[in-house]
Amino acid sequence: MAVELYFFQPLGTNSGRVFQALLEKGVAFVEHELKGPDFEHLKPAYLRINPKGQVPTLVHDGQVMPEGMIANEYIDEAFEGPPLRPADPRERWRMRVWQRYAENDLGRSLMMINWNRIVPTFVGDRSEAEVLAVLETVPDPDRRRSWLAAYRQITPAEVIEESHRRAREGAKKVEAHLRQHPWVAGSSFSLADIDLNNFCGFMAMWMPELVNQTDTPAFVAWRAKMEARDSTKAMRARSNFNMATRGGAAIANRPAGKAGAH
Amino acid sequence: MIELYHWEPNAASARVLIALKEKGLQFQSRYLDVLAFEQHAPAYLALNPSGETPVLVRDGEPFNESSYICEYLEEAFPETPLMPKTPLDRWAARAWQKYVDDYLAASVSDLAWAALGSAGLKPPPGSSIDDAVARIPMQERRDAWRGALEDLGEEVLDKARERVRLTVDKIETDLEDRDWLAPGGYSLADIAVYPYMNYLPRIEPELVGKRTAPHTLAWLKRMSERPAVIAAEAMSRTGDAYATAAPGPEHVRWG
């Protein structure tokens, strides 16, 4: 019977999308908050549940399901409650294409820009040796390399610039799409709206030069609609981070001290 | 009417071809020679601005991204189901599809391109390969082609081999006590993984061979004997879909 969610604070991106889907579906769940700055997701207790150390992980009756995008499809299929996917197969296809775009293309570009800024603060006052020792334990090789590159600030400048280009293109693409459709998948609210807001919604605050009332009015109006939803409000209230005061994230999340480290 | 714009029955094109054949759906084949850059012709870019194959067109409407084309076919044509019944098993089938999209497709494409690729390139008459690449409108795909035409480099290929090794471990574990990748029977998971793994016994026999990957080899054989797979592979114009390769999709950009 029990539904459990292991998630990161601040609630957003991958953790936020599953947290919000459970709220939208009206599924009661046990919260397991993992402290990213303490690298709790790399400690044995969590790796026993999810050996890859990915966050979030949905657990239902002991069955372990990482991968937020498809965990959300599971939530929609396994529980009673309002549908989170369109009934029309064509709109469902559009939902999934946009979920992938939000997460893997635009979202990863934003992540690349932001993690390169945040990681140095995120790791607090640990010594370099300490941090490298922890990062060496990231189980997935690609993820390990990304963390190391962000920590050492060696992501090539052209890769960061390409990410900025995709952010600029993305703002336009989202705007054009939301001028045609009230919701991302088309006629109804769906998992794609949850994903786009969790992975890219903060552009409105962090990249106001790209997402603003003048250049992207449909994007801004859709976001207001998303932020007004009960599930978004409940998630924001549960988050330890005020999205509007970016940079506060790293400070609010700093590890308690060296005692918290490995 | 269903039309499918596709290349050789390998990689992403094969995923949709096999799904169509499994479901017994009639469709018009629109073959694009990717090594002759036919996927960058304006008429095709109007259907799919990224210039990637395949694209399925139903009653004039285009659908791209092979995982989601396959899910669309499953939902629009539920007869002959290709997804497991329970939500949990469906999660497992989707996890394999997502794994292919995020990791396996790009990694195997790197290895296959390095081993087989550029020899077959045919730039359009009167133009060079560089000209043909310069005309690709999407910067992402232009960069991918340029990257592939330069030497990918041993570091990239080693990362790809590392990913294949992890995949083989996963398949060998999954197939210890069953015949198909997702619990609940043959599914879109098998259809997603096969057209990539099927390259490897020939180009990376150390990684996918009798000693390292017995379950994987047995599963590839089971797949290749399915009538739908045989029918899809009979659509090859080169005669051997897994002897040719094109630059693959982009690797995950972060994490």
Q: Which residue has the tokens 């009639």?
A: B26
CB pairs under 8 A between A and B: 82
This prediction has a pTM of 0.94
| Long-range contacts, A206-213 (Cβ 8 Å, 24+) | A206/A114, A206/A246, A207/A167, A207/A171, A210/A167, A210/A168, A210/A171, A211/A171
Q: What per-residue confidence (pLDDT) applies to A242?
A: 65
Q: What per-residue confidence (pLDDT) applies to A124?
A: 75
pLDDT one-digit tens code per residue, A158-171: 999 999 999 999 99
Smallest CA–CA distance, residue A93 to chain B, in Å, is 6
pLDDT one-digit tens code per residue, A50-71: 999 999 999 999 999 999 999 9
Tokens, residue A234: 């409940």
pLDDT one-digit tens code per residue, B85-138: 999 999 999 999 999 999 999 999 999 999 998 778 988 888 899 999 998 888
Give A191's contacts (C-beta < 8 A, 6+ positions apart): A17, A21, A69, A72, A73, A76, A84, A85, A95, A99
> What is the band of A154 on the pLDDT scale with cuts at 50, 70, 90?
confident
pLDDT one-digit tens code per residue, B175-209: 999 999 999 999 999 999 999 999 999 999 999 99
pLDDT at A99 over 60: yes
Judged by average pLDDT, the poorest of A51-65, A121-135, B145-159, B180-194 is A121-135
The DSSP string of B177-224 is S-SSSSTTSS-HHHHHHHHHHTTHHHH-TTTSSTTT-HHHHHHHHHHH
Q: What per-residue confidence (pLDDT) applies to A262?
A: 30
pLDDT at A251 over 60: no
Smallest CA–CA distance, residue B67 to chain A, in Å, is 9
pLDDT at A258 over 60: no
Q: B106, B248 in Cβ contact below 8 A? A: yes
Q: What per-residue confidence (pLDDT) applies to A1?
A: 60
Contact B255 A142 (CB under 8 A): yes
Q: What per-residue confidence (pLDDT) applies to A153?
A: 84
CB contacts of B184 in chain A (<8 Å) are: none
pLDDT at A259 over 90: no
> What is the band of A257 on the pLDDT scale with cuts at 50, 70, 90?
very low
* CA closest to B58 among chain A residues: A90
pLDDT one-digit tens code per residue, A171-217: 999 999 999 999 999 999 999 999 999 999 999 999 999 999 999 99
Q: Which residue has the tokens 């189980």?
A: A139
Contact B253 A63 (CB under 8 A): no
Closest CA to B29 of B21, A169, A70, A172: B21
CB contacts of A170 in chain B (<8 Å) are: none
> What is the band of B167 on the pLDDT scale with cuts at 50, 70, 90?
very high
pLDDT at A255 over 60: no
**ipTM value of the model?**
0.97
Q: What per-residue confidence (pLDDT) applies to A261?
A: 31
CA distance A58 to A231: 18
Please give the sequence-ordered ranges of beta strands (E in DSSP) within chain B, or none if there are none.
2-6, 28-31, 55-58, 61-63
CA distance A42 to A32: 14
CA distance A238 to A256: 20
Q: Which of A89, A143, A163 sits opposite B75 (nearest CB)?
A: A89
CA distance B197 to B1: 31
By the CB < 8 Å criterion, does B68 face chain A? yes
For a pLDDT cut of 90, what percent of chain A falls above it? 70
- Residue from A13, A60, A70, A151 to probe the interface with B (highest B Cβ count within 10 Å): A70
Classified as helix, coil or strand, A33 is: strand
